[in-house]
Amino acid sequence: MRLGILIPLALALAVTALVWAAGGFDALARWAAQGQREVQSDMAGAIRALKAGEAGALAGLMTLAFAYGFFHAAGPGHGKALIGGYGLGRRVSALRLSIIALASSLAQALTAIALVYGGVFLLDWSRERMEGVAERWLAPASYAAIAAIGLWLFWRGLTGLRRGDAHDHAGCGHAHGPSPDDMAGVASVRDAALLIGGVALRPCTGALFLLVICWRLGVDMAGILGTLAMALGTATVTIAVALLATTAREGALAGLAGGATARRVLPALELAAGALILAAAATLLAPFV
């Protein structure tokens, strides 16, 4: 396939993924919300069955928690937008970004566990108070961190485009710009920490519900295990977005060699990814402004 056709197709695929990540498909969002409500109702029944000592109740609860995590991630959410945008904007391997996506989901579960048990044992908070803290304070902090990452990607892309134009205007006979292989930057520990933190700051309300109910009924460990299962369900979607984003990016870069084309396409991808993440973050932050 000619490069001129491949690049637009890859970019269209990436943009579609990020629009979905930001909640742009209303029908899908409604389906996911309905699935969450139904599974949450079933989880309450499974917890009661577990408390009554029914056989297979724990396995049933883990399955429902995993399903809830999947539905939660399939709807509008900041984690997909962040992971997908980073995968589009930075040349990171699919495996590395998938590991970051998994770590982000698990860290989000740990945040929920820390909030519930810190609130219960240290501050004597109710479930409503915990959910209020998550929504009023942790959610906007998470979205602001996402906006900062988007701004950083946008600035890097803009700087790269300016640098590429300056090199082109220099008119000398050798390449100033790096090739795609030269720019295949490995995500640093700092980048990984920012991505994981941006997702983990806002715990899932479904996880808070599960943890509090299990604590009240004296089956704490089931709530903790269920929260981790919920995180794995979420990770199935965020990992899929990571794979989609990195595949789209590599498709856009296929056939590029060093020189002027690489100097323009690589920072342009980074700039576009930053702009999309900023747009998603702005949408999420709007209710708090």
Given the structure tokens 């399939």, which residue do they identify?
Answer: 74
Find how far residue 66's CA is from the centre of its chain.
17
Q: What is the reported pLDDT for 22? A: 52
Structurally, the chain folds into a number of domains equal to: 1
Question: Does residue 186 have a pLDDT over 50?
Answer: no
Nearest to 145 by CA among 194, 202, 205, 77: 194
Which residue range forms the structural domain that includes residue 36? 3-288
pLDDT band at 58 (very low <50, low <70, confident <90, very high): very high
pLDDT band at 166 (very low <50, low <70, confident <90, very high): low
Distances (CA, A) of 289 to 100, 136, 143, 144, 285: 30, 11, 12, 12, 7
Tens-digit pLDDT profile for residues 74-91: 876 667 778 888 887 787
Q: What is the reported pLDDT for 160? A: 78
Q: What is the mean pLDDT of residues 152-170?
A: 71
Q: What is the reported pLDDT for 72? A: 87
The C-alpha atoms of residue 140 and residue 63 are separated, in whole angstroms, by 30
The C-alpha atoms of residue 141 and residue 74 are separated, in whole angstroms, by 22
- Give every CB contact of residue 214 below 8 A, 6+ residues apart in sequence: 47, 220, 222, 223, 224, 226
Tens-digit pLDDT profile for residues 95-123: 999 999 999 999 999 999 998 888 877 76
3-state secondary structure the chain: CCHHHHHHHHHHHHHHHHHHHCCCCHHHHHHHHHHHHHHHHHHHHHHHHHHCCCCCHHHHHHHHHHHHHHHHHHCCCHHHHHHHHHHHHCCCCHHHHHHHHHHHHHHHHHHHHHHHHHHHHHHCCCHHHHHHHHHHHHHHHHHHHHHHHHHHHHHHHHHHHHHHHHHHHHCCCCCCCCCCCCCCCCCCHHHHHHHHHHHHCCCCHHHHHHHHHHHHCCCHHHHHHHHHHHHHHHHHHHHHHHHHHHHHHHHHHCCCCCCHHHHHHHHHHHHHHHHHHHHHHHHHHHHHC
